[in-house]
Structure 1
């Protein structure tokens, strides 16, 4: 079995889900898109992932704001409003009769190309919008066990050629980093920035706990994760010292605890990095407390909605 931050409990209901492609619903096995799609041809697309808890799309505004920022940064015009996109998502969820424990992936590509090419002027359609909702509950066993990381030789890029904050379909360098980690016997990859400081993981944001303080990298060379931001928020709200700063593997190997954050898994402890045990090598007390505070923030959000 694959072990990592995206481990989900098997759910047979996913065999019969309906997927939205440009406002049309298709059974899972019939959901297809053209080989001339920009995302397929050249990775020209952006995406977001959300969680549905008790009928509420958690931190929806944050995710939509990030999607619109990504679209602006790649020069992609979205011919619908945030409210209209939200309605598309809710229509898809309602068609599947989904109300809880759902992970929603929204993918927007530039559209269909006239011929295989990078040139956006050869796009002959509007953006393609795909919405995939699945029943996904994170495995508690995986969370209790924690994950192991391996430091990849592949760096997070510089903002002047592919800004790491961009949530785009071009993820090959992160896949390469993950392959290195898997081949080294780890679950996922830790990635450094162009200066050699710790940046992020291949699919999640990275934190360490050092003498009661919580450290994460600066926002310059990592995906500005929504969960990352919420963890920083709950730290500040609960007088937990939290810093966005440059730090190296020297600090990581000597940390008391480490954990990663992501929309799907929330907070997941890290027990080993590069074969070295981190702290006690378990789900540490500070990480547990932060996870509890993060889940409380979600509950507060649900009540406010």
Structure 2
């Protein structure tokens, strides 16, 4: 299928061929931004990351994203080697070097660093962490609402790989996305271990039913910052919102569905498993929440 789209689909921007990338304290041209084949992230997916978005000169919820990066690093016993303030300074340094003022997206990545031998044990990572910031000019391009397909891949229990962790190990979500594309959809809707609707492979998932906004309990998904901002906006604007278990039966008959994430903010869902959700277009509640969110972030 040739017309697949993605929640991370962006307009083409020729300036991205000339971006400068932060690698371990240096800001270098894209062609020179390299890490070792012995790096823990390349070799084992041993690292954590955050995505942040620039609107009108301001990195949205930057402090919260950096705090979550450090929480994730602590959870995997990875010493970043910088303070939160120093990481923020690195972001601002990279932004200044690229002359970016709005409509930019940055991905901050920290791995356990270069290993002495190509094996799993973390003690083989003896050369300190690797930190990279890729910053691109990025404006979302979404020609139509997203098509989702339910897949057998689940976000699992925290004793396997905690889904609340923004880890470099994304194979489970990648396999889910592949399964969805094989089914003719754009992205995957993943259930939790009890069979309730949970999240997509890339974003948090919401439905609208009879004027109320529903999302999962949050027990088995990344508790996204944009997800929480939507919940907070609903509460502040007298929109009923519930974090609860719900099934595919309730989802298929929803009036609207949308996804949330740092890159796309709120992305409408047109179909799920071949069933049209609502009108199949951007719904009035999603549009209202979009407006509230744009005001919040100053977009």
TM-score range (shorter-chain normalised) is: over 0.9
Q: How does 1:28-67 map to 2 (within 5 A)?
A: 28-67=30-69
Are residue 226 (structure 1) and residue 225 (structure 2) matched?
Answer: yes
1:157 alignment partner in structure 2: 156
The TM-score normalised by the length of structure 2 is: 0.97
Are residue 174 (structure 1) and residue 173 (structure 2) matched?
Answer: yes
Give the one of 86, 89, 93 matched to 2:88. 86
1:110 alignment partner in structure 2: 112
Q: 1:55, 1:289 → 2: CA distance?
A: 24
What is the Cα deviation at residue 227 of structure 1?
0.7
Q: 1:235, 1:45 → 2: CA distance?
A: 34
What is the Cα deviation at residue 281 of structure 1?
1.2
What is the Cα deviation at residue 226 of structure 1?
0.9
Q: 2:135, 2:280 → 1: CA distance?
A: 35
Gaps of at least 5 residues in structure 2 are none
Q: 2:13, 2:285 → 1: CA distance?
A: 31
Q: 1:258, 1:97 → 2: CA distance?
A: 36
Q: How does 1:263-278 map to 2 (within 5 A)?
A: 263-278=262-277
Q: How does 1:1-305 map to 2 (within 5 A)?
A: 2-139=4-141, 141-142=142-143, 145-299=144-298
**1:258-301: CA deviation from partner (whole Å, max 9, x where unpaired):** 000110111011010000111111110000001111111112xx
What is the Cα deviation at residue 231 of structure 1?
0.3
Q: 1:295, 1:97 → 2: CA distance?
A: 23
What is the Cα deviation at residue 2 of structure 1?
4.4
**1:63-122: CA deviation from partner (whole Å, max 9, x where unpaired):** 011111111111111211111000011111111111111101100001110111111111
**1:217-260: CA deviation from partner (whole Å, max 9, x where unpaired):** 01110011111011001001001000111111011011110000
Q: 2:218, 2:117 → 1: CA distance?
A: 37
Q: 1:211, 1:2 → 2: CA distance?
A: 30
| Secondary structure at 1:89 match in 2 | helix
Gaps of at least 5 residues in structure 1 are none
**1:45-74: CA deviation from partner (whole Å, max 9, x where unpaired):** 000010111221110111011111111111
Q: 2:296, 2:231 → 1: CA distance?
A: 12
Q: 1:69, 1:242 → 2: CA distance?
A: 27
User: How much is the aligned-residue C-alpha RMSD, in angstroms?
Assistant: 1.0
| Secondary structure at 1:87 match in 2 | helix
The TM-score normalised by the length of structure 1 is: 0.96
Q: 2:72, 2:5 → 1: CA distance?
A: 30
What is the Cα deviation at residue 28 of structure 1?
1.1
